[in-house]
Amino acid sequence: MENLVSLEKHFANKKVFITGHTGFKGSWLITWLHLWNAKIKGYALPPDYENNVYDYLVKNKKIESVFADVRDKDELRKEILDFNPDFIFHLAAQPLVRRSYEIPADTFQINVTGTANLLEAVKDLPGKCTVIVITTDKVYENKENDILYKEEDVLGGYDPYSASKACAELVISSFRNSFFNPKEIGIHKKSIASIRAGNVIGGGDRSTDRLIPDIVRSLEKNNVIEIRSPNAVRPWQHVLEPLAGYLLVAALLDEKPGAYSAAYNFGPNPDDHLKVKEFVELAVESWGGGKWKDVSSQTQPHEAGLLKLDISKAKKELKWKPKLNSKDAIKWTIDWYKQESSKQVEYTLKQIKDYLAL
C-alpha cells in the first residue's frame, strides 16, 4: 500500500464534507483528517447516547458542524453547495441490523433516499469533487455457503438494513452512470466510489447491539458477557483499516479523476475471519479476565451466520491491504477502552500515528 503519510498532501487545506460525523467512524475520520489540517464540515444528527465518541474526539475541534437529517433534501443541498467541498465522505446511515427490524421504513429512507439526496446535490456542484459513499459488507445476497464475496457478486439483503444498503449501491451505480460517468469526467468533474467494509471495531463505539460495546459494558461492570450466535463468522477489522481505504481511494481519485469510480471491499485477509466466540475470547484475554454466555434464542431476528469478503480487488487495484490482523485489532480496541477517560483523546491520536508508522 502507498505510504499513507504521503496522502496528506491531498487533504491538507482542502475542504472535506462528512455526513455522519457524529458517529463512531465519522469521529475517527475527522480526528485523522484534522491531523492533516483539512477544512472540515460535518453534517449529521446529534449523538443519540451519552458518553459518545463525538463528544470525546470532535466536539472541541475547529470544524463546522451542522446538526441535520440527510432526509432533509433542501438542507443537505444547501450545506453542500455553500461549502463547495473538494471531498465528500458519506457515512450517515441507520447502521444497525436489529434496529432495522424496528424501523424498516426509516432505515430505507435514511440509507437509500439519504444517499440519493446527497448525490443529487453533488450533481449541482460547479467544479471538481471526489465522493466516497460508505455502504457495508452486508450488501451481498448472502447464501452462507462459505465463499468470499466479490464486488461483482449479486446484491441483496435478508434484513431491512442489508437490503437498504444494497439499494443504496444501486442508487450509487445509477448516479454514476447517469450523471458522473467516468467517460465524461472532463465535463462533470465528479468521481464516485462506494466502499463495502467489514465489521468495524475500535475505541469509543458505545452503540447498542454491537459486539465490542456490549463486551466492554459488561467487562466494566464485571458482568457476564451475553452474546448471540457464538458460531457466526464475520470479517472483523479495526476502524483505521477501512478509514485508510477511504482516504486512499479518495486520494487516487483526486490524482486520476474517474479512474477508480467503482465499488471496493475492505476487510481482513481470507484466513482471518473469526467466529463471534473466538472474538469474545480474544477480547476477554486482552481485558485480563471475564466470562461470557450464549443467550441466543429461536425468536431473535435473523442475522447472517456466515459472511466473508474478498479483498483481492482492493489489493490489486489500490495496493491496499490490512496492516492489523484480527487479534491485533481486538487488542488495539480493548487497549483504548482501558485508558482513563482523560487520556482517550491522546490515545486515539497515538493509535492513528502508530498505524501510519506500520
pLDDT tens profile 120-158:
999 999 999 999 999 999 999 998 888 999 999 999 999
Give tens-digit pLDDT for 182-226: 999 999 999 999 999 989 999 999 888 789 999 999 999 999 999
Whether the Cβ atoms of residue 136 and residue 196 lie closer than 8 Å to each other: yes
State the pLDDT at residue 298: 67
pLDDT at 259 over 60: yes
Backbone angles phi and psi of 149, in degrees to 5:
-80, 130
Whether the Cβ atoms of residue 198 and residue 234 lie closer than 8 Å to each other: yes
131 to 258, 300, 333: CA distances (angstroms): 11, 37, 28
On the CB side of 257, CA atoms within 13 Å amount to 19
Mean pLDDT of 29-54: 92
Judge if pTM exceeds 0.85: yes
Whether the Cβ atoms of residue 94 and residue 110 lie closer than 8 Å to each other: yes
pLDDT at 51 over 90: no
Q: Which residues contact 164 (CB under 8 A, 6 or more apart)?
A: 94, 100, 107, 108, 110, 111, 112, 157
Whether the Cβ atoms of residue 119 and residue 75 lie closer than 8 Å to each other: no
Nearest alpha carbon to residue 41 among 17, 70, 24: 17
State the pLDDT at residue 56: 79
Q: pLDDT class for 50, splitting at 50, 70, 90?
A: confident
Extents of the domains making up the chain: 4-357
State the pLDDT at residue 57: 86
Whether the Cβ atoms of residue 319 and residue 2 lie closer than 8 Å to each other: yes
pLDDT at 335 over 70: yes
Lowest mean pLDDT among 5-14, 102-111, 130-139, 295-304: 295-304
Copy the grid coordinates of residue 233. 463468522
Which tops the pLDDT comparison, 155 or 228? 155
State the pLDDT at residue 2: 54
Q: Output the CA torsion sign for 30, 35, 38, 41.
A: positive
Name the CATH architecture for the domain at 4-357.
3-Layer(aba) Sandwich (3.40)
pLDDT, averaged across the chain: 94
The widest CA-to-CA distance across the chain, in whole angstroms, is 60
- SS3 at position 89: strand
pLDDT at 85 over 80: yes
pLDDT at 1 over 60: no
Mean pLDDT of 250-275: 95
pLDDT at 68 over 90: yes
Backbone angles phi and psi of 39, in degrees to 5:
-95, 110
The distance from CA 253 to its chain's CA centroid, rounded to whole angstroms, is 19
Give tens-digit pLDDT for 269-314: 999 999 999 999 999 999 999 999 999 876 677 777 789 999 999 9
Count of positions (residues) in the chain = 358
State the pLDDT at residue 198: 81
Q: pLDDT class for 101, splitting at 50, 70, 90?
A: very high
Whether the Cβ atoms of residue 329 and residue 236 lie closer than 8 Å to each other: yes
Whether the Cβ atoms of residue 165 and residue 138 lie closer than 8 Å to each other: yes
Provide the residue type at 319 as one letter: K
283 vs 201: CA distance, rounded Å: 11
State the pLDDT at residue 306: 85
State the pLDDT at residue 207: 84
H or E segment to which residue 122 belongs: helix 114-123
Give tens-digit pLDDT for 15-32: 999 999 999 999 999 999
